[in-house]
């Protein structure tokens, strides 16, 4: 996988310095539409934790975008491919790929710098390198609000993990949550992904700090949004933490119900690590 991804990235870099594609317009359009379709398919597979299928779909999208020199598509699929490497624990490969991607973005399309900074912070979080997460998020401010809020969320999680005060990050998320909620209900059908993510982050912070009622409220909000979006992984994650919250509240019946619902989803998506955690929690009831 490493050599294949490096080859694709090398082709991308070389192609970028050539003239735009001379393919007929109708072929250009067909390739872009097909690439977009593969990209959406990759995202759909990622939502249900089918990571190998997501990787294949993103790779096919990437190659189609390369054929027509579609810079935005090339970069976004590179980001998606590196993200898949991280999720699939292919950590030997991602660092070199990320450095090459950063060089490419700085040289060719600096408008994607926010996306690269977020990917770097996510990689550091997966590696549990909290000092690097804090370094990356301390002074960087993204132009895109959704990316900035994800960076703030990663900073809050790292502060929680290191036992430091995260009130400032939490307040920033809570303030933005009001606007996201307003926009979500004003623009019906709008993607609620970042809205759901903020609810989950705030719920997790309250859970870690032992604020069970507040945590339950945030996880329930995130769960509703994930159900509307069909985000299978998000649904399972919220069900699991609702089970953990109700276990802390000594509400064994509801805790068991949430754990069993989460277990059914994790079985379907073959997440054995989470299945083990749930089985341990069920055994403790």
Residue percentage of the chain with pLDDT more than 90: 52
Confidence band for 211, pLDDT divided at 50, 70 and 90: very high
Q: Which residues contact 60 (CB under 8 A, 6 or more apart)?
A: 35, 38
Confidence band for 190, pLDDT divided at 50, 70 and 90: low
**Mind listing the pLDDT tens digit for each residue in 159-188?**
999 999 999 999 999 888 877 777 766 665
Q: Is the pLDDT of residue 199 over 90?
A: yes
Confidence band for 25, pLDDT divided at 50, 70 and 90: low
Selected residue with higher pLDDT from 31 and 265: 265
Residue of 149, 192, 191 whose CA lies nearest to 171: 149
pTM reported for the whole predicted model: 0.80
Q: Is the pLDDT of residue 108 over 80?
A: yes
How many other β-carbons are positioned within 10 Å of the β-carbon of residue 268?
Answer: 12
- The predicted model gives 15-20 an average pLDDT of 44
**In whole angstroms, what separates CA 31 from the centre of its chain?**
27
Q: Is the separation of the CB atoms in 183 and 190 below 8 Å?
A: yes
Q: Distances in Å between the alpha carbon of 29 and those of 18, 35, 39, 65?
A: 20, 10, 15, 11
Q: What is the pLDDT of residue 227?
A: 92
Residue of 269, 163, 229, 193 whose CA lies nearest to 240: 269
Q: Three-state SS string across the chain, please?
A: CHHHHHHHHHHHHHHHCCCCCCCCHHHHHHHHHHHHHHHHHHHHHHHCCCHHHHHHHHHHHHHHHHHCCCHHHHHHHHHHHHHHHHHCCCHHHHHHHHHHHHHHHHHHCHHHHHHHHHHHHHHHHHCCCHHHHHHHHHCCCCCCHHHHHHHHHHHHHHHHHCCCCCHHHHHHHHHHHHHHHHHHHHCCCCCCHHHHHHHHHHHHHHHHCCCHHHHHHHHHHHHHHHHHHCCHHHHHHHHHHHHHHHHHCCCHHHHHHHHHHHHHHHHHCCCHHHHHHHHHHHHHC
For residues 20-38, b (16+ Cβ closer than 10 Å) or e, as one string?
A: eeeeeeeebeebbebbeeb
Question: For the CA atoms of 15, 17, 18, 24, what is the dihedral angle to 10 degrees?
Answer: 70
CA atoms within 13 A on the CB side of 221: 24
**Mind listing the pLDDT tens digit for each residue in 68-107?**
888 899 999 999 988 888 877 655 567 778 888 899 899 8
Residue of 248, 270, 243 whose CA lies nearest to 259: 243
Structure tokens at 262: 């989460």
Q: Is the separation of the CB atoms in 203 and 226 below 8 Å?
A: no
Q: Whole-angstrom Cα distance, residue 23 to residue 29?
A: 10
* Mean pLDDT of the chain, nearest integer: 85
Q: Is the pLDDT of residue 26 over 80?
A: no
Confidence band for 15, pLDDT divided at 50, 70 and 90: very low
Confidence band for 67, pLDDT divided at 50, 70 and 90: confident
- By residue count, the chain amounts to 285
């Amino acid at each position: 996988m490493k050599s294949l991804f490096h080859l694709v990235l090398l082709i991308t870099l070389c192609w970028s310095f050539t003239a735009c594609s001379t393919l007929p317009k109708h072929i250009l359009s067909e390739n872009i539409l097909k690439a977009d379709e593969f990209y959406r398919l990759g995202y759909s597979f990622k939502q249900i934790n089918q990571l190998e299928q997501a990787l294949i779909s993103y790779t096919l999208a990437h190659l189609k975008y390369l054929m027509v020199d579609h810079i935005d598509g090339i970069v976004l699929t590179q980001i998606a491919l590196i993200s898949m490497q991280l999720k699939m624990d292919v950590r030997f490969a991602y660092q070199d790929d990320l450095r090459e991607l950063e060089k490419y973005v700085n040289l060719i399309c600096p408008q994607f710098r926010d996306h690269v900074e977020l990917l770097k912070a996510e990689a550091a979080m997966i590696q549990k390198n909290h000092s690097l997460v804090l370094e990356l998020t301390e002074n960087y401010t993204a132009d895109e609000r959704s990316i900035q809020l994800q960076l703030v969320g990663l900073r809050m999680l790292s502060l929680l993990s290191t036992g430091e005060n995260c009130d400032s990050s939490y307040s920033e998320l809570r303030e933005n949550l009001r606007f996201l909620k307003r926009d979500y209900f004003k623009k019906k059908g709008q993607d609620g992904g970042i809205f759901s993510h903020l609810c989950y982050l705030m719920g997790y912070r309250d859970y870690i700090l032992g604020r069970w009622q507040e945590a339950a409220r945030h996880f329930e909000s995130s769960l509703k949004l994930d159900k509307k979006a069909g985000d299978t992984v998000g649904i399972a994650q919220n069900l699991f933490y609702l089970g953990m919250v109700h276990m802390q509240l000594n509400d064994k019946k509801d805790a068991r119900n949430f754990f069993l619902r989460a277990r059914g989803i994790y079985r379907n998506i073959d997440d054995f690590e989470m299945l083990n955690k749930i089985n341990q929690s069920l055994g403790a009831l």
